[in-house]
Structures are given as C-alpha cells and as structure tokens.
A and B are shown apart, each in its own frame.
Chain A
Amino acid sequence: MTYHWARGFDWGEFGASAGWPSLRYDPHKLCPGSPHFKRESGKPTMCAISSIVVNARSLTKRYGNFEAVRGIDFAISAGECYGFLGVNGAGKTSTMKMIYCRIGRTSGELTVLGMDPAHDAPRIKQRLGVVAQENALDPELDVIENLLSYASFFGVTGAAARRKASELLELVNISGKERALVRELSGGMKRRLVIARALVNDPAILVLDEPTTGLDPQARLLVWERLTRLREVGLTLLITTHYMEEAARLCNRVAVIDGGKILAEGSPAALIAQFAARDVLEIVDSDGRLPADGLLGGLVVRRERHGDIQYLYNSDNRVLLHRLSELGFDPPSHVARQTTLEDVFLNMTGRELTE
C-alpha cells in the first residue's frame, strides 16, 4: 500500500509494499486547493507551494458569550501526525470541528488543503476523513452497509466501493463481520470501523477526535497500531487526545491546549522533558516515613503532596522503587505509572495538586 498526500492511497499494492511513492518536483504543478487543481492519475508530483495542509491564525470560536477557542495559531504539514492535548472543554473538539467544516469560525484565518472552510466546505470534506468523538456509526445498518452508504456520499459506488470496503475491513481487522449489526461489535471494533469508514474516500487528512477514549487497553493498542500504519504510509493525521501516552506514541508534534489557547507546542519528548518527568510514583504515606529527596540520589525530579498521597516525578519508576526498597521503605500502597497529560498539564498551568 502506498500513499501520497495529494493522490491518496494506492490500494492496489496493499500488502505488497509500504512506503513513500517517489516524488518528482514540478514547480508549475498546481496544489490541491488552488482553483485549477486537477487530480491526475499516474506518477505523483510535488507541487510548487509549501506542503502545509492545515493553517490557522488567530483562530477563534465563540458560542454566545462563551469563547471556546481563543485565538490559536498552528500549521500542520503533509505527512505529519499532529495532536491536540487537552482536558474536556479545552477547545479541542471545537478546533477539530472547524477544520472538518462542521462549524464555522468566529474570527481568524483557517485554510485546510489550501481552501477556506467558509467557502469551500464541500471540496474540503471530499478530501477529509473524519472520526468524530461519538461513534457515529449507523446502528440501523450492518458493517458493510455502513461503509457503502457513507462511501456513496463521496461518489464512491458500485464495485469500486465494495472493493474498497473489503480492503478497509481487512486493514482495520474486521473482516468476516460484514453482515454484523453495529451493536453486535465490541467498542474497539466500532472505533476501528469508524476509522475504516473515514478512509473510504482516500482522504488527504484523517481527523480523529479522541480515537481511543473509552476503549479497553487491548482495543486501544490495536487502534494505535492501525493508526501507526497509516502514519507510516504518509497519511496526515490530526488527533485530539487526553492521553500523553497516545500522543507520545502517535504524534510527531503536539499542542497542549487549555481554555481555548495553545499553551505549548512541540514533540512529545520535548514537552515531557520540559514540563514533567516520564514516570510518576504515587505513594500513600500517611505516617511520613517516605525518605527525603536527598536520600533518593536525585532520582526524583519533582515531588508533590496531596493529602496523604505523595507524587514522585522521576524518569523510571522501577529504578525508583528499587532504590526505595534498598532504603528499607516498602510503600504500603502505591501506583507506578507514566506521567499523563494531567501531570504535564498541572505542572504547566501551575495549578499545584498540593494545598
């Protein structure tokens, strides 16, 4: 399977090879989005202007008196996996909805594939894949009907649609369930089916609003694995998530968004390094026997207390736990976990857990 951001998937080679198609630079080539662009078959060419596929400047969205998105700037390049990290109500979904032309912007500039959603929504939608937050599958239709019915709205019909549908079901690992009703699928299968459905039109950008929220760990892993595969063949992914781990696995670049503003932007590693450690050890320490930082040999980067729980930010929980047991401290109750958005987020916004 090959993929080109302007041309889409070449499903004919699915399974045979995966990688970038060779690109031939043509300075006179029109980009998708320019008024006279025509999709051509044959060898893909790079176009003359930059490969920024989504560009926002001072983008705002207001609902009545509430300002959900308060002047954000970002630029997403072709082939990138870009993530919006934030808690519920941070403005992630509003931003995504503006990009996939579901809601209009209040002010600022926004271009998607070189086009303005305010004027070119149908042409943008034709080239986007959308995985909305709710499982928007049609419960009255079976699996294959969900794909074929949705594909028809993009003009993908008949034998081509059936071929595409079965390829996509294979891609997301739901083959053999064609005639199952949506309610008979597990949560993970539903989510993968929505992803498959979003690919029926060979999108240039796949937009996913919290693709793994509410899934069990195995289902989440499988979704991550499929998304990684799509990213590796060069599809531009745009993701919102609560999960630092998800962003770290999938995204080249993430924007931490809170209160409708982007607080920080960068690679996941850079963000974690800047605002939190990799791991956090939560220890119930009611009698204050926990050794002080000095005794832990610099393993603890940052320590917070909330009630009886101590939060020890560090680079590796196993090392820290080993050190603690060497010191004769076996925590009566602890949680060893990776740092999450909440940790980074709380550190960034300066809202301490203590007090």
Chain B
Amino acid sequence: MNALAAFFSPNAWRVFHRNFLAWRRYAWSSVAINIVEPFAYFLALGFGLGAYFSLTGYGSLVQFMAPGFLGLTALNTATFDAAWGGYERRVFNGVYESIITAPVDPLEIAAGEYLWQAFRSALYGSLFLTVITGFGLVHSWWALLCPIMLALSGIAFAIPALFVSFVVKTQEHLFYYFSFVATPMVMIGGVFFPLDKFPHWALAIAWLTPLYHAVRVFRSLVVGTVSWNTGLEVLWVLAAIALLAFVPVGSIRRHLSS
C-alpha cells in the first residue's frame, strides 16, 4: 500500500464514513462555527474597511476578498479538523487504535482523513460560495467548479495538519502549527490583498504554499478569468498533494503499526 493508492481503497472510504457518522450529530454547530466566523471577518473587512478605498486594478476590496475567503474557509476547516480532531480521534477517543485491529493499513486511515477533510472543505466552502453569490460577487459559471477545487485544497491542507497531529506531544502544541504555519500562510496567500507589491523573496515564499495557488484558482473561477494558467495552478496543487502525501508515511506507520 502506498500513500496515493490508499486514496482509492474501500477502507479509506470506510474511515470517511465513520467520520461522517460522527459529524452528523454536531453538523449544524460545525457548519455555524466554520461559516459564521469567516463571514464576520468578510463583512467587517470587505464592507467596513473596503468602504474607504478600492484596489488599483482589482476593483473593490470586497470583490477581491470574496474568492480569497473560499481558500481561507478550506484552509481553516481542513487544518483544524485534521490536526485537532485527528489528535482527538487518535489519542483521546482511540478511533484509529480500534480500526487498526481490523485488516486496515495505517495509510488507509490517513487517506480516509484526507478525503473527509476534502468533503468538509467542499461543503463549507460551497456554503460560503452561496453567500458571496447572494452579494452579487460571483460573475462566472466557472464558479460551479469551485467545490472540486475546494476538495483538492482541503486534501492539500489536511496532509500537513494530520502529520503534525501525529508528531506533537500534547494537543496544545498544535497551536504552534496554527500560529506559525497556518495563519502566516493566510497572510501571504493573497486572501486579503494583492501581492503585487510584495518583495520577490516574500512572493517566492507565498508561491510555495498551496493556499496561494488555490486562491488564484478560486479568483479565476469566481471572476471568470480562467486560462491555461489556471490549469497550471490546479496542477501545482495536485503535485503538492502527490508529494506531501509521502511525508507523514513514516510517522503514521510508526504510530499505528509497530
């Protein structure tokens, strides 16, 4: 079993299904938490702050931020549940520990988690998409492809987050990842403002994060400026998934098999 083949195994979907069953019980609060907060920021920054200026070459701030927030929602949703939720499922609730007594490969459990985060990102991101559609900020039918991109970016964000959940000694240490990796990634990801005026080195760092590319894809889909470049950005995210998937393999195997 390798890290990519695991995505296609029935066991990965059984892990997915297990997470779905658990999620059903608190689905409404989960949706509310994952939508209300970004929505509040979106209103405050987009309409409040954005009322004072517009961005040269991009129009209103709210129009610029709307697709960016799709990426932000995917990042937050997938990162938090893969890291914090994953740690709970593994350490506190013994979920993986009992699944592993069945004929299941540890990598299939990880793949199931990634697929689950893909679903969450697609669902919560799509809800945000309907909100910004309501505000008249979506201008292209290409936006219908957003859920697919949300799912892909959910996987890209889930892989490092789950990895971190396997590495940390206590759950609180996950905040190192949230504060030192996830949040800075949002700041330089082109979510809130264009990166044209960034120095080259900062732009280079941004280019290395999946969020930067995901946000550019969302912007193209929402505004309707899809080009071959958009396809390349999607390929970048796919390649990141293919490479990242192999990083946690050793750690996952160490924890879930001898």
Residue numbers of A with Cβ under 8 A of B are: 100, 102-104, 121-123, 125-126, 128, 130, 132, 134, 136-141, 145, 149-150, 152-154, 201
Contact = CB atoms under 8 A, between A and B. Distances in A.
A149 B100 CA distance: 13
Interface in B101-127: 101-105
B17 A152 contact: yes
A193 B82 CA distance: 28
Contacts, number: 66
Interface in B127-172: none
A141 B22 contact: yes
B102 A154 contact: yes
Given A104-B258, A136-B94, A149 B101 contact: no
Contacts of B22: 138, 140-141
B101 A130 contact: yes
A88 to B, nearest CB: 19
Interface of B: 11, 14, 17-18, 21-22, 25, 93-95, 97-105, 257-258
Contacts of B14: 149, 152-153
B60 to A, nearest CB: 43
A131 to B, nearest CB: 9
Contacts of B93: 138-140
Nearest to B108: A153
A57 B18 CA distance: 39
B21 A145 contact: yes
Contact of B99 (A134, A140, A153, A201): A153
A103 B104 CA distance: 14
Given A138-B93, A141-B22, A154 B103 contact: yes
Contacts of A130: 101
Contacts of B18: 138, 141, 149
B228 to A, nearest CB: 42
Among A125, A134, A138, A201, residue most surrounded by chain B Cβ atoms (within 10 Å):
A138
B17 A150 contact: no
Contacts of A122: 103, 105
Nearest to B104: A153
The 4 lowest CB-CB distance pairs between A and B, nearest first, are A153-B102, A140-B22, A136-B98, A103-B258
A154 B257 CA distance: 18
A126 B95 CA distance: 18
8 contacts: A102-B101, A102-B258, A104-B258, A122-B105, A128-B101, A138-B93, A149-B18, A152-B14
